[in-house]
C-alpha cells in the first residue's frame, strides 16, 4: 500500500502570490498516476490534475502539476480568492486500490 504525505500542513499566503504544495509517496507511484483535488468547505472534492501534470477539463492554467517517482508538486500561480481551500493528492498507480494524502490547507495570510 502506497502511503502519501503532504507538506506543509497549512500554507498561509496572500492573493496574487504563488503556492507550492508537495506530495511524497512511500514508494514510487506507478506511471506517475498521481492526481490533485481541491476541496472547499461543504463541497465534494474537485479534480484538478491527473497523470501528475495534466489539467482536468475547465481547470485554469494557473494550476500546474509536476514531479515523478515519489515526489510531486502542485503549483498555484497568482492565487485568486477562490483558490483558498484544501488540496489533496491521490495515487492511482496501484489501481484499483487507491489512497489519498492528508491534505494541505491554503489559507489567507
Partner 1 sequence: QVQLQESGPGLVKPSETLSLTCSVSGDSMRNFYWTWIRQPPGKGLEWIGNIYFSGTINYAPSLKSRVSISVDTSKKQFSLRLSSVTPADTAVYYCARASGVFDFWGRGILVTVSS
Beta-bridged to residue 67, according to DSSP, are 72
Note the residue count of the chain: 109
CB of 35 to partner 1, least distance (A): 5
- Other beta carbons less than 10 A from residue 62's beta carbon: 15
Tell me, residue by residue from 3 to 42, as one string, x for binding to partner 1 by CB under 8 A and - for no binding. Answer: ------------------------------x-x-x-x---
Helix (H, G, I), strand (E, B) or coil at 5: strand
Does residue 65 belong to the site contacting partner 1 (CB under 8 A)? no
In the complex with partner 1, the residue whose CB is nearer, 17 or 53, is 53
Amino acid at each position: 500500500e502506497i502511503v502519501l504525505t503532504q507538506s506543509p500542513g497549512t500554507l498561509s499566503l496572500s492573493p496574487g502570490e504563488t503556492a507550492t504544495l508537495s506530495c511524497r509517496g512511500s514508494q514510487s507511484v506507478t506511471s506517475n498516476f498521481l492526481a490533485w483535488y481541491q476541496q472547499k468547505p461543504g463541497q465534494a472534492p474537485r479534480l484538478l490534475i491527473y497523470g501528475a501534470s495534466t489539467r482536468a477539463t475547465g481547470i485554469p492554467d494557473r494550476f500546474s502539476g509536476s514531479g515523478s517517482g515519489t515526489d510531486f508538486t502542485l503549483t498555484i500561480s497568482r492565487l485568486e480568492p477562490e483558490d483558498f481551500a484544501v488540496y489533496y493528492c491521490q495515487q492511482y498507480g496501484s489501481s484499483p486500490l487507491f489512497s489519498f494524502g492528508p491534505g494541505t490547507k491554503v489559507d489567507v495570510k
